[in-house]
């Protein structure tokens, strides 16, 4: 979390929501991480432009921050999914 700007941490739950919406809309699960990266980069670039950074700096910062946020969102979703699976698996053995 030290690598993602604090003001862009909001992207993580937003991207998780976008991922759930994409899955509901029928997007193949293999493409959801790519969709999250694209959405994260786009949103982060918009934010950096709004903050008044120069064009090259805004694009670079947006790409890096968007990819990091998308990876964090994907990792958080997978972690929650594995925990849920372990809990459900434990219930089957009782």
15-71 pLDDT, tens digit per residue, is: 999 999 999 999 999 999 999 999 999 999 999 999 888 899 889 999 999 999 999
Please give the pLDDT value at position 26.
95
* Coil vs helix vs strand at 29: helix
Residues 63, 17, 11, 50: what is their CA dihedral angle, to the nearest 10 degrees? Answer: 80
Where do the H-state alpha helices sit in 6-54? 11-24, 32-50
CA–CA separation, 88 vs 14, rounded Å? Answer: 27
Please give the pLDDT value at position 93.
53
Q: At what angle do helices 32-50 and 55-92 cross, to 10 degrees?
A: 140
Q: Is the dihedral of CA 14, 31, 59, 72 positive or negative?
A: positive
Band (92; pLDDT cuts 50, 70, 90): low
Residue 91 has pLDDT above 60, yes or no: yes
8 A C-beta contact, residue 40 and residue 64: no
């Amino acid at each position: 979390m030290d690598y993602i700007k604090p003001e862009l941490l909001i992207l993580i739950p937003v991207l998780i929501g976008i991922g759930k919406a994409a899955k509901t809309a029928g997007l193949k699960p293999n493409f959801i991480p790519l969709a999250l990266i694209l959405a994260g980069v786009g949103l982060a670039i918009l934010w950096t432009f709004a903050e008044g950074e120069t064009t090259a700096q805004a694009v670079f910062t947006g790409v890096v921050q968007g990819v990091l946020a998308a990876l964090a969102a994907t990792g958080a979703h997978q972690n929650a999914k594995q925990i849920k699976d372990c809990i459900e698996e434990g219930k089957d053995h009782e």
